[in-house]
Amino acid sequence: MKIIDIVSRLLNYIGGLVIGAVMLLTVADVGGRYLFSSPVVGTKELTENSMVALAFLAIGLVSLRREHIKVDLLVHRLSTKGQAIFDSITHFLGIAICIILIWQNVLRAMEVFQEKLITALLRVPLYPIYWVIVIGLVLMCLIMITQLIQNISKAAK
C-alpha cells in the first residue's frame, strides 16, 4: 500500500506541473494575441491533451483518499457492516469497469501508435496520452482492489 501511496502522490504532483504549464501556455497565448497579434500556435491541441493527462494523473490520489463523488442517500443509514457490504459491491463493479477501460485503452494506444496518428497542427503523436490514461486507470484499479479487501474484512467482522 505504501508504494501505491507514493506513486499516487508522484502522479498527482506531475499533474500539478501539467496544470501549471497549461496555465502559463494560456497566459502566453492570450498575451501574445493581445500584445503582438500573434497567439501561441497549438495552444488548443496542447491544452486538450493536457486536460486528459491531468484527469488521469490525479485519479489515483482521488481514489486513495476516497474523494470521488458519492451519493449516499440510503447507504449512510445502513449499519457499518451493511455499508461495508455495499462498498464491496460497488468496488467490485468499479474494478470490473476499470479492467474493461484499461483493456480498451491499451488496444487504442497500440492502434493509434501503429497508425501513427498525430495532432493536426503541431503533429504531436497521440498514443502517449492513451498510455497516461492506462497508467491512471491501473493505479485506480489497484487502489480499488485494496479497498475491496478492506471492505470485505470489515463486512466479515
pLDDT digits (tens, 9 = 90+) for 70-82: 777 788 888 889 8
Question: What are 117-122's contacts with CB under 8 Å, separation 24+?
Answer: 119/42, 119/45, 119/49, 120/45, 121/41, 121/42, 121/45, 122/41, 122/42, 122/45, 122/46
Q: Give alpha helix (H) positions in the chain.
A: 2-35, 43-64, 80-115, 127-156
C-alpha–C-alpha distance, residues 33 and 126, integer Å: 27
pLDDT in tens, 46-60: 999 999 999 999 999
- The pTM for the full model equals 0.89
Portion of the chain with pLDDT greater than 90, in percent: 78
Q: What is the phi/psi pair of residue 131, to 5°?
A: -70, -35
Q: Residue 74: its pLDDT value, please?
A: 83
Which residue range(s) make up the domain with 47?
2-156
Q: Residue 6: its pLDDT value, please?
A: 94
User: Under DSSP, is residue 11 helix (H, G, I), strand (E, B) or coil?
Assistant: helix
Q: Residue 46: its pLDDT value, please?
A: 94
> What's the domain count of the chain?
1
Q: Output the average pLDDT for the chain.
A: 93
Please, are residues 129 and 113 in contact by the beta-carbon 8 Å criterion?
A: no
pLDDT in tens, 82-126: 888 999 999 999 999 999 999 999 999 999 999 999 999 999 999
Using alpha carbons, list the distances in angstroms from residue 9 to 14, 93, 107: 9, 25, 27
